[in-house]
């Protein structure tokens, strides 16, 4: 089977976390927006480090359609579903309460400590955390997101993130692979500082200790498995899926579902790269 890993021009050799998988499969790295690539010469095209697509969503979605369901993984229908965080309203799982604000709509009444970010985003760009005294800055961020013709979302900031972090459960080929714990990224009363380079991700995302491997909590794992079952029923078995959860009053809530280009932190978990390679060949 001939395999391509789709990446971006800022990372033509792919992200280091994926390289053992690419080596095992003999995969080529190809930039998703390179018009010279003959995508139909590959049996599988796996979306990995396409981290610039959020600025060119229409172009990316058109590329997804061209590569098509026979080759692209995850499949185009799941990718289109997952690129905009409005998918949170379409799943049966309990989610962090979210208010969506489209361009031209008035900002909601803000209450308590909140998080604001675009509905189409990656790398914590244009994302901020604001206590009540900084709600004016939150409103400015909403306006900034709208000025770029994007919708914003507003969520309560759950204090459990400071104490416990976020919990991510990774599934490969529809089967549980490993659990990760991510420390809090957002500092109070600021828009997350970014690197300012071509990818322009939040600087906190580059911390070496940001994510660690963790043992799965049975309650969280059952919740995550339910999300995977629902996604699989809608779109078929995903090659990869990362289910990001937070805890609130002892119950798990879905924070984000990552089915497009998540980092899977394979280097933290022995055997996970081999499981990923097997999933690509099987699904």
Q: What is the pLDDT along the chain (283 residues), one digit of tens a residue?
A: 999 999 999 999 999 999 999 999 999 999 999 999 999 999 999 999 999 999 899 999 999 999 999 999 999 999 999 999 999 999 999 999 999 999 999 999 999 999 999 999 877 788 999 999 999 999 999 999 999 999 999 999 999 999 999 999 999 999 999 999 999 888 888 887 777 777 667 676 767 788 999 999 999 999 999 999 999 999 999 999 999 999 999 999 999 999 999 999 999 999 999 999 999 999 9
Which residues have CB under 8 Å from 198's CB, separation 6+? 9, 10, 52
Report how far residue 7's alpha carbon sits from residue 143's, in angstroms, rounded to the nearest whole number.
31
CA distances from 240 to 20, 54, 160, 218, 275 (A): 16, 20, 27, 20, 10
Among the listed residues 47, 42, 43, 44, the one whose alpha carbon sits nearest the alpha carbon of residue 60: 47
Residue 264 CA neighbour count, 13 Å, CB half = 31
27 secondary structure, DSSP code: P
- Tell me whether the omega of the peptide bond preceding residue 74 falls within 30 degrees of 0, making it cis: yes
Report how far residue 148's alpha carbon sits from residue 35's, in angstroms, rounded to the nearest whole number.
26
Report how far residue 121's alpha carbon sits from residue 141's, in angstroms, rounded to the nearest whole number.
14
Residue 264 sits at the vertex; the CA angle it makes with 38 and 142, to the nearest 5 degrees, is 90
Handedness of CA 211, 216, 220, 224 (dihedral sign): positive
Strand duo 44-49 + 72-73: pairing: parallel
50 secondary structure, DSSP code: -
Report how far residue 122's alpha carbon sits from residue 261's, in angstroms, rounded to the nearest whole number.
9
Which residue stretches of 151-268 are H helix? 160-164, 218-235
Handedness of CA 35, 84, 253, 161 (dihedral sign): positive
Q: How many helices (H) and strands (E) does the chain have?
A: 7, 14
Q: Which helix (H) or strand (E) holds 216?
A: none
Q: Give this prediction's pTM.
A: 0.95
Q: Which residues of 34-45 are buried (b: 16+ CB within 10 A; e: fewer)?
A: eeebebeebebb
Specify the residue for token string 């009540």.
Answer: 132
């Amino acid at each position: 089977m001939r395999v391509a890993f789709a990446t971006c021009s800022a990372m033509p050799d792919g992200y280091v976390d994926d390289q053992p998988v690419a080596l095992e499969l003999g995969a080529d790295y190809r930039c998703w927006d390179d018009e010279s690539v003959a995508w139909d010469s590959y049996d599988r095209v796996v979306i990995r480090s396409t981290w610039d697509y959020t600025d060119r969503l229409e172009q990316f979605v058109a590329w997804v359609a061209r590569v098509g369901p026979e080759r692209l993984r995850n499949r185009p229908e799941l990718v289109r579903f997952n690129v905009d965080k409005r998918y949170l309203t379409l799943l049966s799982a309990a989610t962090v309460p979210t208010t969506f604000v489209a361009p031209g709509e008035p900002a909601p009444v803000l209450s308590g400590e909140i998080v604001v970010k675009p509905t189409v985003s990656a790398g914590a760009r244009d994302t901020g955390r604001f206590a009540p005294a900084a709600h004016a800055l939150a409103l400015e961020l909403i306006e900034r997101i709208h000025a770029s013709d994007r919708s914003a979302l507003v969520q309560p900031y759950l204090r459990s993130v400071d104490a416990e972090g976020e919990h991510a459960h990774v599934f490969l080929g529809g089967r549980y692979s490993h659990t990760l714990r991510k420390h809090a990224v957002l500092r109070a009363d600021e828009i997350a500082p970014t690197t300012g380079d071509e990818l322009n991700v939040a600087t906190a995302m580059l911390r070496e200790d940001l994510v660690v491997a963790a043992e799965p909590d049975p309650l969280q794992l059952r919740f995550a498995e339910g999300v995977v079952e629902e996604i699989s029923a809608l779109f078929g078995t995903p090659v990869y899926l990362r289910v990001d959860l937070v805890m609130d009053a002892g119950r798990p809530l879905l924070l984000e579902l990552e089915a497009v280009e998540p980092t899977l932190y394979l280097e933290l978990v022995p055997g996970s790269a081999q499981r990923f390679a097997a999933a690509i060949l099987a699904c």
